[in-house]
Chains A and B, each alone.
Chain A
Amino acid sequence: MMLLDVKDLWVKFPTRQGLFEAVRGVSFSLGKERLGIVGESGSGKSMTGRAILRLIRPPGIVEADHITLEGRNLLDVTEKDMREVRGEKISMVMQDPKFSLNPVMRIGDQIMEAYLVHNSVSKSEARAKSVEMLEAVSIRDPERVMRAYPHEMSGGMGQRIMIAMMLIPNPQILIADEPTSALDVTVQRQVLDIMDKLVKERGMGLIFISHDLNLVAEFCDRVLIMYAGRIVETCDANKLHDAKHPYTQGLLNSLPRFDQPRRHLDVLKRDPSWAEVPSVKGHT
């Protein structure tokens, strides 16, 4: 089943040198799957995620044929309805939980508030539900975490709390923008496992934005590889290591491999024509 369909998405920013095109004509669709978007910084992967939620602020310009969610074109929706879409239909987890949580509010209060916004229930019920959510993201001592302030949490805990909050309204789509880049490798794994479990259980669609090819190859079902604002290649995640496009191959080869020592790493040689070739369609 198709959850989201994006056609010919452009994101532009006016600068003194003219219009800067961060995303250039990207089309893809998302079903109940884990879709990875990978690319280097400046490839437009984060802008794509933000554009879907219409989080690009003026003077940035978002243009598309359509961004369809449940038959509704999100580009035509009023800002008021859009606020409902954000959270209720599509949630977003950002890179650093430190900047997404309110530093002067107890974590419990923040989760309960998020729950009460979307559900008309009593406070005690919201509280019970919040504790349940924290347990769902494998937080061992949820009562203590409910009373804590965000700065008392480690990065991994913070990111789990963010995921718990984002899942409260039961969205159909979760957009995760580099959700584990700020975390240590051993914690990364745990956070990913939790996200994976929840997404599977609830039958959600996941857009996983990352610069880490190996992570995406392992974690996602399908991958879009972005370069200079366009999709240069799309493939099944488990076949990423057999990717055809020289850019994808170059990225993979430039990673140091612990099991295969080499004196020099391969350096990516960029071909200007990569940026010119029309975007590949990322539909299933």
Chain B
Amino acid sequence: MTMITINGLNVWYGDGRDHVDAVKNASFEVAAGESFGLVGESGSGKSTILRAITGLAPNWSGTISIEGKQLSHGKRDREFYRRVQMVFQDPYASLHPRHTVDQVLSETLDLNGITGIDQRVSRLLDGVGLDGKFRFRYPHQLSGGQRQRVAIARALAGEANIILLDEPTSALDVSVQAEILNLLTDLREEHNLTYLMVSHDLPVIGHMCDRLAVMKDGEIVETLTVDSLRAMRAQHEYSRSLLKASIV
């Protein structure tokens, strides 16, 4: 079964003279339980695709389907957000500076209509490898890695099965990146999650994903499996140059 189907997606910002095409005619599919990567340099439109799916980028055309159900252009409903969640790039900007970890998770659970919040918060923290002592801390009392764990817990709180990962480790140190990537790997197995991951870092995508799409200037230049990229079977010249720059 396909979880995410993107067909002929165009996303743009601004009107008239300020019109900028961020994504041009992008199409790909992500199967259930698959981990799919979007790789490209800054400004290639990879994050914009995630924003279009979640409804944060309002101007788009083409079709986006989640579990076979086509999304409308209006606001996403709660049902959608119960299925699809996102982890943002910068853990320093994605947590409310005046809310404790407990507040962040409790509110998410509350919005999803889940009861027994107190135990659920403990279980969520446990699930992302955070000790209970972090529960009542403010974001400024946490390290970058700990914050990103909280953000992952928030994405999992409503029991979503599709997680959009927008460069989840690019703001972190390499040792912390390893911890977070391992956590994401384990969570995917544990909860049978589908990942759509965006990164500029080819080794990270190679580590996390089964298939990937290479993006350049808003267009998908090539979609292929990680194994065939590793075996140097990339067709497009740009994919090859990216590969060359990423391998030491």
Contacts and interface: CB of A to CB of B under 8 A. Distances in A.
A256 B207 contact: yes
A265 B207 contact: yes
B175 A267 contact: yes
Contacts of A188: 245
Interface stretch (B59-67, B120-128, B153-161, B178-186): B178-186
Contact of A265 (B144, B181, B241, B247): B181
A267 B182 contact: yes
Nearest to B144: A41
Contact of B245 (A155, A186, A268): A186
Interface in B200-220: 200, 202-204, 206-207
A213 B248 CA distance: 11
Contacts of A40: 173-176
Contact of A185 (B177, B226, B246): B246
B202 to A, nearest CB: 6
B21 interface: no
A218 interface: yes
Contacts of A263: 185
Contacts of A266: 178
A99 interface: no
Interface string B234-248: 000000011101111
B41 A155 contact: no
Contacts of B206: 256, 258, 261
Contacts of B202: 185, 258
Given A186-B241, A211-B174, A251-B174, A264 B246 contact: no
Nearest to B202: A258
Interface residues on chain B, size class: 20 to 34
Contacts, number: 75
Contact of A256 (B203, B241, B242): B203
B245 A189 contact: yes
B42 interface: yes
A13 to B, nearest CB: 16
Interface string A234-275: 000000000000000011001111110111111110000000
B17 interface: no
A251 B179 CA distance: 12
B207 A250 contact: no
A189 B248 CA distance: 12
A76 interface: no
Contact of A268 (B175, B185, B248): B175
Given A184-B42, A185-B200, A214-B248, A255 B182 contact: no
A155 B200 CA distance: 15
Nearest to A212: B174
Given A185-B41, A259-B247, A261-B206, A267 B200 contact: no
Nearest to A187: B41
B175 A186 contact: no
Contact of B42 (A155, A250, A259): A155
Interface in B49-105: none
B78 to A, nearest CB: 35
A182 to B, nearest CB: 9
B207 A262 contact: yes
B230 A254 contact: no
Contacts of A217: 248
Contacts of B179: 267
Contact of B200 (A184, A218, A259, A264): A184
Given A256-B203, A258-B230, A261-B230, A268 B178 contact: yes
A264 B182 contact: yes
B178 A254 contact: yes
A214 B202 CA distance: 14
B241 A257 contact: no
B203 A258 contact: yes
B47 to A, nearest CB: 14
Contacts of B247: 258-259
B207 A185 contact: no
Given A184-B42, A265-B182, A254 B177 contact: yes
Contacts of B203: 255-258
A268 B178 CA distance: 8
A264 B181 CA distance: 8
15 contacts: A40-B175, A185-B41, A186-B41, A186-B241, A187-B41, A217-B248, A254-B178, A255-B174, A256-B206, A258-B207, A259-B247, A261-B207, A261-B226, A267-B179, A268-B175
Given A255-B203, A264-B185, A267-B179, 6 more contacts: A40-B173, A41-B144, A258-B246, A259-B247, A261-B230, A267-B175
